[in-house]
Structures are given as structure tokens and as C-alpha cells.
Amino acid sequence: MEPAGGRHRSVTAAMQANIKQISIASVVAVLLLILGIWWGGHPGDLPGPLRDALVSNPHGSIVDQALADVQAQYYRRLGAVRLENAAISGAVATLGDPYATYQTPAEYRQFGKAPASERFSGVGVVVVMGRGGLRVEEVLPGSPAARGGLAAGELITGADGKSFAGRSQAFAEGVIRGRTGTPVTLAITRGNDHFEVRLVRALVNSPAVQLVSGSLRVVHGVKVAVIGLATFDVTGIHGVVAARLARLLHEGARAIVLDLRENGGGLVSEAQAVASLFIRHGLIVTTRGRAQPTERLYATGHPLAPTQPMAVLVDGGTASAAEIVTGALQDDHRAIVVGTHTYGKGVYQEVLPLANGGAIDITVGEYFLPNGVNLGAGGVRRGYGIRPNVVVGAAVTAHRDPVLQTALALVAAKVS
């Protein structure tokens, strides 16, 4: 027999427990509602698995539907991979960015086969500048040039309708190099025969040493090191520049000319390393992007030639990383700049691998010279570039290079 009032107390306790549960459930429901409303306006802040499960992507579904419809309904059969590549290429093309590209899985695999320090896109010849064009010294095995029948001793007098007579080696090589898979027509002289060969550019192997030239010139009794650099788009190329520079200094060079004409740029890290060969300390470049952290790159220390009189040669083909080096040396008052204004590129790119095995190379940020100037004209538009300290616009001929001659005279005169 229950004590008096025992059942009443038990029922009351149960009711209180139920009320408490209902109250907690109500609070949780309100909190979930509030969180749901907030997350609805901030889906990007959801944890990855929840975002994938709860947030739909109608635009992605539409793209998938369009590709599926084309593949299913088009009057002739189309492969899914072909459509996928075309869709990505089309998306990159709509950016209106002259520097943005898409590499298909096959192209990207080919790009990855060669060591980063040895790959570039061209026809596969080792050349030296001769009278009237580029003299072929070697044809790389398996290259487009080898497949096209080119041989050592031949003269490449032009490409794509542009004559190499009176032009620099950097200009000629710049015309021949280009995007993988694009055609280039070479004008060839073989003995008394003149003909054209159409080749398709490919990623080929070439020692980095072929991309850096070094010679010693004597001007009024002063030995001057002349170093030509064709590109910064090879990992470790600064080491080749350093080796050339060290050798010429050992041979008695007392002044330096760095030829960056027709150098289209490349890796920012290589630009930093090359500039650091001549600058003791200080800012080289600042990079900044929407999804990239601001980064300030400084001289790395222990330069090989921090005091010798120096000039940098530039023209309208000097761009990107080559402009970074030029700007750093000019802003530091380390070198005088001779030639014509540079290209005016103020942005940099990054290669982003894709799940399909391909990759996109897109603009991810801007760079700024030590004085804070961005060389572009806003966005990915070409700007005015760097204005030389000494403007020399005279044309190069087979026997005379006014830009180089001016620079040699200027630096030799500064040797005490």
C-alpha cells in the first residue's frame, strides 16, 4: 500500500520531466532554425561533408545535364572525355585572360615526364646566332625538329613569316618557342636550297645551360661580362647564371651587362634568385592575390657581384619575371636599364592540377615592384612596363647591336 500522496508525487514528477523535455526540444528546434537560416546565407561555411550533403549546386547540375544531353542527343557520337576537355577549355577561354590555359590529361602527363629543370615547349634544336639566322648545332632526338628532318649545319632564317636577319638570338628563339601543340613554320637554308618546314611545338628536353649565354667583351681595356638569359621558366636556371657569372668574374670581368631582351619571364622564385646575385639586401618583389596571401620576397644574401657597374638590356619582349628582375635592380639603383620599355605584365599564374589528370594554368595574383608599382594596366591587361634609364631604339643588324654597344660603353666608363 502506497504512502498517502505517493502516487500524486510520482505523476507530478513525470509531468515535470515531460515538460522539461519539451522545453529542451523547443530550444533545440529554435536553435536549429536559426542556424539553418544563417547557414542558408553562408553555405560556404558549412563543414565539407555537410555542405556536400545539404547544399545543392544547381549550376553544376545544369552543366552536367548540358554535357549529358549533347553526348546523348548530338547527331553523331561524341566521347565524354572530349566534351569534358572542350567544356574546361571553353570555361578558361571565357576569362578573357591571355595567360590562362588548359592542359588536357595527355598534355599534362607529357609535361610531367621531363624534369622541371629541363623542359620547355619548342621544336628541339640547339642553336647559335649566325649571319642571317640561327645556325643549328644539334637536333634533339625524338623532337619535332628531328621528325621534320632538320639537321646540324642548317640555318633557320625565320619563323612564321618573321625574318631573323639582324635580330638577336633571344628574339629568334622566342618566335620559335610557344604553346605546346601549336604549329610553327621555319624558313630553312641548306646549302643553296631554301625551303620551309612546318613543325608542331612539343615539350622537349634541353639542358638549362643552352638557355644562358656568357661572354667576355673588352671595351677601352675594360673586361665586361655579358650574360644573356632566355627565360626564367626553368627551375634552377639561376644556378646556371651564377656559374656563368662566377667564371667571367674569375676571368677578370669588372663590369656586367645582363641581357633580358625577349625574355618572356617564368618563375618568380627564379627571378628572386637571379636578382639576389647582384643585390645585397632589400625587397625584390611583392605578390598579392584574392586567394593568395601577400608575400614579400627579399634578396637572399651573399651576392656574387654586388658592386660592379651593371646594365640590364630590355625591350618590348621583356616580361613577367624578367621585369621583376629589371625593376628590382633599377629601384635599388644597382643597375642602369638600357633599351626600350618592357612588356608591362603585372600578374602571375599558378598551375592547378585537376581530378581528370589535366591542369589549368590561371592568373592568381598581381606582383608589385619594390617601389610599389604594378606594371600591368589593371587586371590582366598589358601595361606600359618599365621605362629604361637610357632609351635606345635603334634596330639590331647582323653586324651591330646599338643597345649592347651603348650599355658596354656606359658600364666600362664607370670602372674606376
Averaged pLDDT for residues 184-208: 87
Domain termination residue (choose one: 205, 232, 259)? 205
- pLDDT of 252 higher than 90: yes
Tell me if 350 is assigned to some domain: yes
Would you state the pLDDT for residue 290? 92
Q: Which three cell numbers stand for residue 251?
A: 676571368
Label the pairing between strands 310-314 and 336-339: parallel
pLDDT band at 134 (very low <50, low <70, confident <90, very high): confident
Q: Does the pLDDT of residue 364 top 60, yes or no?
A: yes
Tell me the residue range of the domain where 235 lies: 208-413
Three cell numbers written together for 102: 588548359
Same domain for 167 and 299, yes or no, is no
At 33 the pLDDT is 47
**pLDDT single digits (tens) 54-100:** 445 555 678 888 888 888 898 998 888 888 888 898 999 999 998 88
Q: 397 and 263, same structural domain?
A: yes
Question: Is 150 within a domain?
Answer: yes
Of 394 and 176, which is predicted with more confidence?
Answer: 176
Cα distances (angstroms) measured from residue 23 to each of 6, 330, 404: 26, 72, 86
Domain co-membership, 219 together with 281: yes
User: At 138, which amino acid appears?
Assistant: E
Same domain, residue pair 283 and 136: no
Q: What local confidence, expressed as pLDDT, does residue 79 receive? A: 86
Is the predicted pLDDT of residue 14 greater than 80, yes or no? no
Task: Based on the fold, state whether residues 253 and 399 are members of the same structural domain.
Answer: yes
Is 3 or 309 the better-scoring residue by pLDDT?
Answer: 309
User: Among 178, 205, 232, which residue terminates a domain?
Assistant: 205
Assess whether pLDDT exceeds 50 at residue 7: no
**pLDDT at residue 288 tops 90:** yes
- Rounded to whole angstroms, the Cα distance separating 127 from 153 reads 10
Distances (CA, A) of 93 to 88, 90, 286, 348, 355: 9, 5, 28, 17, 20
Between these two residues, 245 and 394, which has the higher pLDDT value?
245
pLDDT, residue 398, reads 64
| pLDDT > 70 in the chain, percent | 81
Domain boundary among 187, 205, 223: 205
Instruction: Find out whether 359 and 396 touch, Cβ atoms under 8 Å.
Output: no
For the ranges 162-166, 194-198, 233-237, 310-314, which has the lowest average pLDDT? 233-237
State the average pLDDT over residues 103-109.
Answer: 83
In a domain, residue 354? The reply is yes
pLDDT of residue 119: 56
Length of the chain: 416
Establish how many alpha carbons lie within 13 A of residue 72's alpha carbon, considering only the half-sphere containing its beta carbon: 6
How many whole angstroms separate alpha carbon 217 and alpha carbon 327? 25
Give 115 or 143, the one with higher predicted confidence. Answer: 143
Question: Residues of 1-20 as b/e, b for ≥16 C-beta within 10 angstroms?
Answer: eeeeeeeeeeeeeeeeeeee
Q: Is 2 contained in some domain?
A: no
User: Is residue 241 one of the residues assigned to a domain?
Assistant: yes
Q: Which residue has the higher pLDDT, 153 or 389?
A: 389
CATH of the domain at 290: 3.90.226.10
* Same-domain check for residues 153 and 234: no
Same domain, 196 and 217: no
pLDDT classification of 202: cutoffs 50, 70, 90: confident
One domain, residues 173 and 318? no
Do residue 195 and residue 263 come from a single domain?
no
The β-bridge partners of 283 are 298
Residue 10 has a pLDDT of 43
Which of the four pLDDT bands, split at 50, 70 and 90, describes residue 37?
very low
Residue 402 confidence (pLDDT) above 70: yes
Q: Are residues 308 and 406 in the same domain?
A: yes
48 occurs within a structural domain? no
In this structure, of 19-23, 58-62, 176-180, 248-252, the range with the lowest mean pLDDT score is: 19-23
Q: Is residue 19 part of a domain?
A: no
Q: How many domains does the chain have?
A: 2
Check residue 160 and give its pLDDT. Answer: 93
On average, the pLDDT of the chain sits at 83
CA-to-CA distance for 301 and 143, rounded, in angstroms? Answer: 40
| 232 DSSP assignment | B
The share of the chain scoring above pLDDT 90, in percent, equals 48
Q: What is the CATH number of the domain that holds 184?
A: 2.30.42.10
Burial (CB count within 10 angstroms: exposed 0-12, middle 13-18, buried 19+), residue 269: middle
User: Do 199 and 218 reside in the same domain of the chain?
Assistant: no
In a domain, 159, yes or no: yes
| Residue 320 three-state SS | coil
Q: 196 with 219, same domain?
A: no
